[in-house]
């Protein structure tokens, strides 16, 4: 009946918006009274006036009343608000441990979330600062079913391609060719070794790097001109204006490009550009005009040659989508200009460069990232936040069963459901704002260490951007809402009578919900532990697996001057007893850059080749399974002999490989080495062969004795200096080089480890809070049990049992998830570990152990406490 009447009044004659306005501003009862009065007068007036007049009359009554209503309502709401805040603070202070757990969990969760989003945001920012970045593309080569790979993307392309595309394709607006460059800048006898690039004159038209001095259009159009970054210019010339200055530049050979002439020339500074942003895949300190390349003796044809894919070509299209015709025309370039090559030219969007780890022979100095890792990290961020929110939900709703009396009293004196809801929602928002501030503080403080971990320079100023602050505010609100909604509903859902009758303990339904949240929390934590173990083990496995050679204690020295000197250095090194074996090689040992072709029947197959010195096999301890090593006793070894790997034998289907002549060049196979790992574990072992490049070697490799490594290295240094005119002696250990390849995986492993640990920590905090709460609630029960004669151990069991039950249930849910997700992750590796049963068991045990730690102290205290203390208070 009540409802009916209410409905009719709502249908009254007061204008709808007026009604809504009043409804918003007044309590239900008062609203009904108000509308009732208005209606009565309205009906009276309506008898002798027009409807329009009455309508206006009503509106005026409503509007003139509003100021008074507002002052009435708002003043009371403010009074209530101050009461809520007071109560919230009292609760904070009264339950210090609980507040600490809640706040720190939420704050750490938010800090993690902020740090991860900052990193991911930074990754997604790569190369987006260029104007029209969506229309910028790089030309790369695409091979399918070649070199033993299903698919291969190669970054390097021939120099003339960009120019050719501008000429022939209407869609191509602009293009630039870039070459990698490493060299020594000599000013006033000071040597600076810096990384730069060669670039064509349209470089600054294409890319939005800022030119500070000099004319962008003219700075790179003549040979022997150089434009410096701001910081390099300051390093070299201090405050002087460098434009017009001339200095000596010594080009070092490209490590991954094989031999090059060593070049030295004077360059003229034509300008300064703003330092390259960190979020750019091109990283360089200076640019030398591309025209310089063709102006050095012996290189006149270099930039016109389609035979050397040593450059990187970028184009700007008129549309963000390359047209079908352009794609087709580009594909035909291989047949037109590079007969015999099976690779096709394709366009790679500029933003894809940072995310594509697949591209080999990429421009140096930029660490590509995997999109998958970014997504995984992002999901971890959400998961951590979820765990922190669950913590809050659990603890707060558990706490509310202690605050039942407060809720009951509020209801008795007339609190409406909505009022209670707002109060507890507000409390949780207040907590999350507080936690958000602390979290932001933690994130800023942790940023320098975090930057080291992720290998990117992140700066706290990046927090102070509209979007970051937006994320923070949004995050706070979301976290506050998610974590507050359940406790708020929980608190308002109590029946008044039930509250006042029962003393304490919350409803059964509530505790079931809480327990399932704990299970979720623990399930996630166990999943993260197991994933971290799998990732770490996989990385360990890769590092320790049989790679077919011994990579320890090998020193690799790139030569700046080669030829006869190389031979002398070899002799000198050999004389030292600490140097076990020494040899030369044509490229960075065991990397694959050069390609040759052999025919199998009438089919031509591309295979990698690698030039090595006589004792190379001994230095790397490659195992010869058939035939023999290169030998100085056989003169023809220098000309026609090759050593192949097992994959080669298989590829060409050779039954008795030694002595076979490979068509069309009639190279004789003299030996077969056991398969060894060539580059990344993510790639298959591919067919390849070694040839003797003794006189052209550009790298010296030496196996040294594991004793006295520093002495041996300084001996090598002395020897190098004796022959080299430069003091720049560069060397590395082969295993370090190998480690570098796995750096991104290793890094991902470390980041996962960190955040998995933190999520477990937060879950533990929650567990600790819940444990102390449940023990507090069961204090009397425990005391009675003790009085009746239960031992401390039995009490411990009783307290532990429910918690352990949850962890076990969590395990049951976590295992299939681990199995599914981690197998998916491992699929990418050719050589991978199995997810053994012990990993599941171990992560489950860690979960249980951590629970015992969290619950243990509380249980121990209650188990050993004196029952009298618990019972006497009533």
Distances (CA, A) of 81 to 76, 95, 482: 8, 21, 21
- 9, 437, 779, 821: which one contacts another protein (CB under 8 A)? 9
Minimum separation from the CB atom of position 71 to another protein (A) = 7
Q: Rounded to the nearest whole angstrom, what is the least distance from the CB of residue 24 to another protein in the complex? A: 14
SS3 content of the chain, % helix, strand, coil (to 5): 55, 15, 30
Distance CA 568, CA 719 (A): 10
**368 near another protein (CB under 8 A):** no
- Reduce the DSSP state of residue 470 to 3 states and report it: helix
Structure tokens at 532: 């971290």
Please say which residue, 83 or 145, places its beta carbon nearer to another protein. Answer: 83
> Given the complex with another protein, which of 30 and 352 has the nearer CB atom?
30
Candidates 3-11, 176-184, 227-235, 380-388; binding stretch for another protein (CB under 8 A): 3-11
Helix axes 779-788, 837-864, angle to 10 degrees: 80
CA distances from residue 534 to 521, 736, 821, 833, 841 in whole angstroms, order as listed:
20, 23, 11, 8, 13
Judge contact between 406 and 87, C-beta under 8 A. yes
Task: Pick between residue 55 and residue 129 the one whose CB is nearest to another protein.
Answer: 55
User: At closest approach, how far in Å is the CB of 8 from another protein?
Assistant: 7
Stretch that binds another protein, among 32-40, 269-277, 509-517, 815-823 (CB under 8 A): 32-40
Distance CA 571, CA 344 (A): 45
Alpha-carbon gap, residue 672 to 690, rounded angstroms = 10
CB of 68 to another protein, least distance (A): 3
Compare residues 11 and 801 and give the one whose CB is closer to another protein.
11
Q: Residue 181: which of 257, 112, 107, 276 has the closest Cα? A: 257
Report the nearest approach of another protein to the CB of residue 869 (Å): 45
Alpha-carbon distances, residue 216 vs 273, 290, 452 (angstroms): 9, 14, 35
Smaller CB separation from another protein, 79 or 837: 79
Pairing of strands 311-317, 211-213: unpaired
Going by C-alpha positions, the residue among 589, 522, 530 that lies closest to residue 555 is 589
Q: Rounded to the nearest whole angstrom, what is the least distance from the CB of residue 42 to another protein in the complex?
A: 10
DSSP-based three-state secondary structure for 663: coil
x/- mask, another protein, residues 34-73, rule CB under 8 A, reads x-xxxxxx-x-----------------x--xxxxxx-xx-
What are the tokens at 341?
A: 């090559």
The single-letter DSSP state of residue 250 is E
Give the shortest CB-70-to-another protein separation in angstroms. 8
Residue 411, number of CB atoms within 10 A of its CB: 19
Give 30 or 621: the residue with its C-beta nearer to another protein: 30
* # chain residues binding another protein, by CB under 8 A: 23
- Of 28, 33, 89, 736, the residue at the interface with another protein (CB under 8 A) is 33
In angstroms, give the least distance from the CB of 423 to another protein.
Answer: 21
Query: Could you say which residues in the range 106-125 bind another protein, by CB under 8 A?
Result: none
Whole-angstrom distance, CA of residue 817 vs CA of residue 527 = 7
Closer residue to another protein in complex, CB, 12/802? 12
Q: Which H or E element spans position 197?
A: strand 190-199
Q: How far is the CB of 30 from another protein (least distance, A)?
A: 7
| Binder among 3, 8, 503, 801 for another protein (CB under 8 A) | 8
Q: Which is nearer to another protein, 41 or 473 (CB)?
A: 41
Query: Which of 5, 740 has the CB closer to another protein?
Result: 5
Q: CA-CA distance, 259 to 558, in Å (whole number)?
A: 10
Least gap, CB of 57 to another protein (angstroms): 11
Of 6 and 857, nearer to another protein (C-beta) is 6
Q: Shortest gap between Cβ of 416 and another protein (angstroms)?
A: 16
CA dist 31 and 27 (Å) reads 6
Stretch that binds another protein, among 31-39, 424-432, 800-808, 832-840 (CB under 8 A): 31-39
Burial bucket for residue 743 (CB in 10 Å: 0-12, 13-18, 19+): exposed
Q: Look at residue 457 and give its three-state secondary structure.
A: coil
Q: Which is nearer to another protein, 43 or 85 (CB)?
A: 43
413-446: buried (b, 16+ CB within 10 Å) or exposed (e) per residue? Answer: eebeeeebbbbbbbbbbbbbebbbebbbebbbee
Residue span binding another protein (CB under 8 A) among the ranges 30-38, 340-348, 365-373, 396-404: 30-38
Nearer to another protein, 10 or 629 (CB): 10
Residues 6+ apart with CB under 8 A from 230: 212, 272, 273, 274, 275
Q: Which two tokens stand for residue 3?
A: 């409802």
Q: Is the dihedral of CA 549, 550, 551, 554 positive or negative?
A: negative
Smallest distance from the beta carbon of 406 to another protein, in angstroms? 23
Stretch that binds another protein, among 25-33, 355-363, 487-495, 694-702 (CB under 8 A): 25-33
Task: Tell me if the bond preceding 323 is cis, omega within 30° of 0.
Answer: no
Beta strands 603-612 and 554-558: pairing type? unpaired
- The one among 5, 405, 600, 861 contacting another protein by CB under 8 A: 5
Nearer to another protein, 69 or 821 (CB): 69
Stretch that binds another protein, among 1-9, 175-183, 539-547, 853-861 (CB under 8 A): 1-9
Q: Which residues contact 160 (CB under 8 A, 6 or more apart)?
A: 303, 304, 305, 306
Q: Which is nearer to another protein, 57 or 860 (CB)?
A: 57
Closer CB to another protein, 38 or 226, in the complex: 38
First CA to last CA distance, the chain = 47
CB of 39 or CB of 502, closer to another protein: 39
Q: In angstroms, what is the minimal distance from the CB of 7 to another protein?
A: 11
Q: Do the Cβ atoms of 242 and 233 come closer than 8 Å?
A: yes
In three-state secondary structure terms, 862 is: helix
Alpha carbon distance 312, 320 (integer Å): 20
Q: What tokens does 734 get?
A: 């082969």
> Per CB under 8 A, which region of 33-41, 146-154, 522-530, 626-634 contacts another protein?
33-41
3-state class of 319 per DSSP?
Answer: coil
CB-CB contact of 590 with 735 (8 Å)? no
Report DSSP letters for 356-424, one per residue. Answer: ---EESPPTT-----HHHHHHHHHHHHHHHHHHHHHHHHHHHHHHTTTHHHHHHHHHTT--HHHHHHHH
Q: Which of 10, 23, 30, 213 binds another protein (CB under 8 A)?
A: 30
Nearer to another protein (CB atom), residue 45 or residue 507: 45
> Min. distance of Cβ 60 from another protein in angstroms?
9
Helix and strand numbers (H, E) in the chain are: 28, 23
Question: Shortest distance, CB of residue 497 to another protein, whole angstroms?
Answer: 24
Residue 33 CB, nearest approach to another protein (Å): 4
Q: How near is the Cβ of 15 to another protein at its closest, in Å?
A: 15
Tell me the closest approach of the beta carbon of residue 16 to another protein, in angstroms. 18
C-beta of 48 vs 801, nearer to another protein: 48
Binding stretches for another protein (CB under 8 A): 5, 8-9, 30, 32-34, 36-41, 43, 61, 64-69, 71-72
């Amino acid at each position: 009946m009540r409802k009916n009447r209410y409905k009719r009044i709502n249908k009254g004659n007061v204008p709808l918006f007026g009604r809504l306005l009043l409804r918003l501003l007044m309590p239900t009862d008062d609203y009904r009274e108000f509308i009732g009065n208005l209606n009565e007068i309205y009906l009276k007036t309506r008898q002798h006036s027009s409807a329009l007049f009455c309508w206006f009359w009503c509106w005026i009554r409503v509007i003139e009343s509003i100021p008074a209503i507002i002052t009435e309502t708002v003043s009371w709401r403010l009074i209530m608000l101050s009461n809520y805040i007071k109560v919230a603070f009292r609760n904070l202070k009264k339950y210090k441990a609980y507040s600490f757990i809640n706040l720190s969990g939420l704050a750490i969760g938010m800090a993690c979330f902020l740090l991860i989003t900052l990193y991911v945001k930074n990754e997604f920012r790569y190369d987006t600062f260029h104007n029209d970045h969506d229309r910028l593309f790089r030309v790369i080569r695409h091979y399918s079913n070649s070199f033993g790979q299903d698919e291969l993307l190669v970054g390097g392309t021939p120099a003339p391609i960009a120019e050719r595309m501008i000429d022939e394709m209407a869609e191509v607006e602009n293009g630039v060719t870039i070459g990698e460059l490493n060299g020594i800048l000599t000013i006033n006898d000071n040597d600076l070794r810096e990384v730069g690039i060669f670039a064509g004159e349209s470089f600054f038209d294409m890319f939005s790097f800022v030119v500070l001095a000099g004319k962008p259009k003219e700075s790179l159009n003549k040979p022997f001109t150089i434009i410096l970054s701001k910081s390099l210019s300051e390093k070299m010339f201090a405050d002087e204006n460098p434009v017009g200055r001339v200095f000596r530049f010594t080009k070092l050979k490209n490590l991954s490009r094989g031999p090059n002439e060593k070049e030295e020339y004077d360059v003229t500074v034509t300008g300064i550009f703003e330092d390259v942003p960190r979020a750019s895949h091109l990283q360089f300190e200076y640019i030398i005009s591309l025209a310089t390349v063709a102006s050095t003796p012996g290189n006149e044809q270099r930039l016109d040659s389609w035979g050397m894919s040593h450059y990187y070509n970028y184009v700007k299209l008129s549309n963000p989508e390359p047209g079908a015709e352009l794609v087709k025309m580009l594909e035909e370039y291989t047949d037109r200009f590079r007969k015999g090559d099976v690779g096709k030219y394709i366009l790679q969007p500029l933003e894809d460069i940072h995310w594509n780890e697949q591209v080999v022979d990429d421009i140096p100095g930029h660490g590509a990232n995997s999109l998958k890792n970014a997504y995984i990290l992002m999901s971890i961020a959400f998961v951590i936040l979820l765990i922190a929110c669950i913590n809050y939900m659990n603890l707060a709703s558990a706490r509310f069963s202690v605050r039942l009396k407060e809720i009951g009293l509020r209801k008795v004196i007339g609190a409406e459901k909505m009022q209670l809801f707002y109060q507890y929602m507000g409390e949780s928002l207040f907590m999350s704002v507080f936690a958000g501030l602390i979290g932001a503080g933690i994130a800023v403080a942790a940023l320098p260490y975090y930057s080291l971990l992720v290998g990117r320079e992140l700066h706290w100023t990046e927090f102070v951007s509209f979007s970051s602050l937006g994320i923070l505010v949004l995050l706070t609100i979301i976290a506050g809402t998610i974590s507050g909604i359940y406790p708020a509903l929980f608190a308002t859902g109590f029946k008044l009578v039930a509250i006042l009758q029962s003393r304490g303990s919350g409803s059964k339904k509530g505790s079931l919900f809480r327990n399932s949240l704990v299970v979720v929390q623990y399930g996630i934590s166990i999943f993260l532990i197991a994933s971290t173990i799998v990732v770490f083990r996989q990385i360990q496995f890769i590092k320790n697996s049989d790679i077919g050679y011994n990579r320890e204690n090998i020193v690799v020295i790139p030569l700046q001057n080669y030829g006869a000197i190389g031979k002398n250095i070899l002799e000198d090194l050999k004389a030292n007893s600490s140097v076990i074996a020494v040899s030369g090689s044509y490229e960075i040992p065991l990397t694959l850059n050069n390609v040759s072709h052999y025919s199998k029947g009438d089919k031509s197959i591309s295979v990698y080749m690698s030039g090595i010195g006589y004792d190379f096999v001994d230095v790397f301890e490659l195992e010869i399974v058939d035939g023999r090593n290169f030998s100085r006793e056989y003169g023809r070894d220098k000309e026609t002999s090759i050593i192949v790997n097992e994959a080669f034998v298989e590829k060409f289907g050779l039954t008795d490989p030694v002595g076979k002549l490979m068509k069309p060049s009639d190279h004789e196979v003299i030996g077969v080495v056991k398969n060894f790992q060539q580059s990344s574990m993510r790639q298959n072992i591919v067919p390849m062969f070694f040839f003797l490049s003794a006189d052209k070697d550009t790298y010296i490799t030496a196996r040294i004795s594991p004793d006295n490594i520093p002495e041996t290295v300084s001996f090598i240094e002395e020897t190098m200096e004796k022959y080299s005119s430069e003091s720049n002696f560069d060397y590395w250990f082969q295993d370090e080089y190998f480690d570098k390849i796995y750096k991104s995986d290793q890094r991902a492993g470390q980041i996962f480890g960190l955040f998995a640990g933190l999520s477990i920590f937060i879950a533990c905090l929650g567990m600790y809070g819940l444990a102390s709460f449940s023990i507090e609630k069961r204090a009397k029960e425990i005391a009675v049990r003790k009085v009746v004669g239960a031992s401390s151990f039995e009490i411990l069991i009783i307290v532990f049992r429910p918690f352990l039950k949850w962890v076990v249930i969590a395990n049951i849910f976590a295992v299939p998830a681990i199995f599914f997700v981690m197998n998916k992750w491992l699929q990418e590796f050719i050589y991978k570990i199995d997810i053994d049963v012990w990993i599941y068991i171990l992560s489950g045990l860690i979960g249980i152990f951590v629970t015992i730690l969290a619950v243990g102290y509380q249980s121990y205290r209650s188990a050993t406490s004196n029952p009298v203390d618990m019972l006497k208070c009533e």
